[in-house]
Amino acid sequence: MNFIPTRSRLSMPVQDISHWKGRPAKPPALPSVRTIRIFVFGLTALLTALGTWGMYQVISPVDVTWLQLVFAAIFALTFTWISFACASAIVGFCILLRKDTVSVPLAPQSRMGRTALVMPVYNEDPASIFAALERMGRGLVWQGAQRHFDIFVLSDTRKDDIASQEEERFLALRQSFLGELGVYYRRREQNLHRKAGNIADFVCNWGAAYDHMIVLDADSEMSGELLVTLARAMAADPGAGIIQTLPLLRNRWTPYARMTQFAGRVYGPVVAAGLAAWHGRDGNYWGHNAIIRTRAFAEAAGLPELKGRKPFGGLILSHDFIEAALMRRAGWAVYMLPQLAGSYEETPPSLMDFAARDRRWAQGNLQHSKLVGTRGLCWVSRVHLIQGIMSYLASPLWLMLLTAGMGLAFIAHYTEPNYFPDGFSLFPAWPVFDPELALRLLVVTAVVLYLPKLLGIILALRDRELRQGCGGAAGLLKSVAAEVGLSMLLSPIMMLVQSRFVLDIMIGRDSGWNTQNRNDAAVPFAIALRRHAFHSLVGVALGILAVSISWATFFWFLPIMTGLILAPLISWASSMPSLGRWLWQANVFRIPGESDGAAAMADAFAPTARLEPAE
């Protein structure tokens, strides 16, 4: 059953990634953006050089070995990754500290054009989706903007029972607005090209009737005021192709999700402000909670299938990065407005749910290695693609770094000194490892790694509303301590999980397309034990090897070993909603907008009664 308006077609040609003849006028970056880019990339290079030189001093090779060269090279790559994040966060901190955000020009509401609010769904919970759409629709009515918007539910659902519920909820939603707001439903017979194909199908069949579209995910929600602001901002900027918002995380009660939500509220604004500053109008798109100029998208963002076999060939999985890059190639601006409030999404409730989603993202981002060289891309777009690739290569690089470090420690402990080195020497050539310099380098690395969090904490303490929403200064600091501790335990687990993802992808295993779990429900301990048994065994083996070298080596690796050995317990406990509510009562991991730890989130989207199917 489909309830759709008259078709208004747009052509969406598939883009050629091998050739590019066009040279569209690309407005030069503003002087401030150029200065920020010089600072971010310059500071990254400086920190990486200093860190790598420090590591060279630590290992102090008498004779350079291949293992030392490998160790130094991997360290340089991993240190570059954290240095870049640190430099970007410093920029974001300075902008937020000075309240130096750029004002957004807005067209009059009467001239903001027509916008489609697009919700693609695939085997999702109809009740939560249509309740969110009702709240967004009510927000638009409250803003007096209902004649400028229509809601489209684009179903790719394969299960007939869920599709039947979708249709019932749709009829109830349509009836509830009594014609005030256009509400439409379409279910595709074949879900060709997944979400990207679902959006493209809408654009090709109804896109000509709308100046813009705001793309949502099944867990997205945006305030009516923000929806109107985005449409007005797009109408006021004829060169804009995509305007991305900063979605904040909410609605979950497991400790894992609450930690993620808290981190997003406290550290996220610093990171986002820095990204927006150096991206300028050469930004990126995250696939949802963004407004897109429909005709520009149709003309520039038609995705090709990649040559070769899966997982690197075939359908482009992480389509959002590529769509942004192609629109930028065609001359359209892509930028983020992180200062706009009212954009929300949900986070996976457990480590295992996050890993299930992350597997697909890993394949999509590594697939971009075939697209970095696409003809005509802006250099900043190439940086976005490389960042996405590195976000998953960082884990196996870290694993290789730890392995090489353990190897060097083993060699240094068990290798006999060479009493007869080549050339003249008064002393034997002992393997050297300077523990004092190593400790200094560890401190420097920790500062670079944790500085973005520290800057976020400083701003949160200065922000009265945010500070109170996080439980006051005491609650905020307790939450930070808990977040840092839990993150340290989770990091080595994710290192192995993501390293396995990369290995699977390299040997040709496809991720498939599975529905995400969006429900708070504790993972049974037996399942956690089965899924994480390998991680525990690796932790035990690492501990035995470290002790066999020296107690000093054991204590250096203790934080990593602890997280791995306790992986089943950590994964299980962090998935328990009851523990998350207990933490809320203990004033840990609170975020603004929560008035009652036993109730659902109470924020700007105070829900109306849940929609029931029409009689």
Least confident interval from 1-15, 47-61, 287-301, 410-424: 410-424
User: What are 129-171's pLDDT values in tens digits?
Assistant: 999 999 999 999 999 999 999 999 999 999 999 999 999 999 9
**Mean pLDDT calculated for residue range 465-481:** 96
Beta-bridged to residue 292, according to DSSP, are 213, 242
CA distance 154 to 118: 7
Domain assignment present for residue 68? The answer is yes
Span 276-292, average pLDDT: 96
The beta strand positions in 259-379, using DSSP E, are 290-293, 333-336, 343-345
> pLDDT tens digit string along 534-568?
999 999 999 999 999 888 889 889 999 999 999 99
* pLDDT tier, 595 (very low <50, low <70, confident <90, very high otherwise): low
Residue 599's pLDDT is 37
Give the model confidence (pLDDT) of 19-61 as tens digits.
887 765 565 567 789 999 999 999 999 999 999 988 888 776 5
The answer to whether position 355 is within a domain reads: yes
Residue 152 DSSP SS3: strand
| Gap between the Cα atoms of 565 and 559, Å rounded | 10
* pLDDT over threshold 60, residue 400: yes
Where residue 429 falls among pLDDT bands split at 50, 70, 90?
very low
Position 67 pLDDT exceeds 80: no
**pLDDT of res. 598:** 36
pLDDT at position 435 is 63
Please indicate whether residue 609 or residue 175 has the higher confidence score (pLDDT).
175
**What phi, psi does 598 have (nearest 5°)?**
-95, -5
Q: Is residue 243 situated within a structural domain?
A: no
All residues at 6 or more sequence positions from 275 whose CB lies less than 8 Å from its CB, including other chains: 88, 92, 283, 336, 338
Answer yes or no: is pLDDT of 14 > 70: yes
Per-residue pLDDT of 220-230, as tens digits, reads 999 999 999 99
**Over residues 79-107, mean pLDDT:** 92
Provide the 3-class DSSP secondary structure of residue 3: strand
| Residue 264 belongs to a domain | yes
Is the Cα dihedral 385, 389, 391, 397 positive or negative?
Answer: negative
Q: Are 614 and 130 in contact (CB under 8 A)?
A: no
CB atoms within 10 A of CB 613: 15
Residue 469 counted as domain residue = yes
Tokens of 587: 């004033």
245: closest CA among 261, 222, 219? 222
Count of domains observed in the chain: 1
Q: What is the mean pLDDT of the chain?
A: 89
Q: Which domain holds residue 35?
A: 26-104+250-280+305-332+344-416+433-513+575-603
Cα distance between residue 534 and residue 601, in whole Å: 37
Strands 333-336 and 240-244: parallel
74 located within any domain: yes
| Per-residue pLDDT at 495 | 96
Angle between helix axes 435-462 and 255-266 (nearest 10 degrees) is 80
| Residue 145 maps to a domain | no
Q: Which residue has the higher pLDDT, 515 or 55?
A: 55
**Which candidate, 214, 175, 198, places its Cα nearest to that of 124?**
198
Q: Are strands 290-293 and 212-215 parallel, antiparallel or unpaired?
A: antiparallel
Cross-strand bridge partners of residue 222: 343
Query: Residue 415 above 70 pLDDT?
Result: no
Q: Can you give the C-alpha Rg of the chain in angstroms?
A: 26
Give me the pLDDT at residue 407, please: 83
Cα–Cα nearest to 169, from 131, 139, 195, 137 = 131
- Kind plus residue range of the DSSP H or E element containing 240: strand 240-244
Would you say residue 434 has pLDDT above 70?
no
Residue 549 domain-assigned? no
DSSP label of 589: S
Task: Give the closest residue to 278 by CA, choosing from 18, 58, 34.
Answer: 34
Rounded to whole angstroms, how far apart are CA atoms 539 and 495?
A: 12
Least Cα distance to 321 among 230, 390, 392, 386 occurs for: 386
Residue 151: φ, ψ to 5°: -105, 130
Cα 353 to Cα 355: distance, rounded to the nearest angstrom: 5
The one-letter amino acid at 528 = A
Return the pLDDT at 615: 33
Q: What is the pLDDT of residue 513?
A: 65
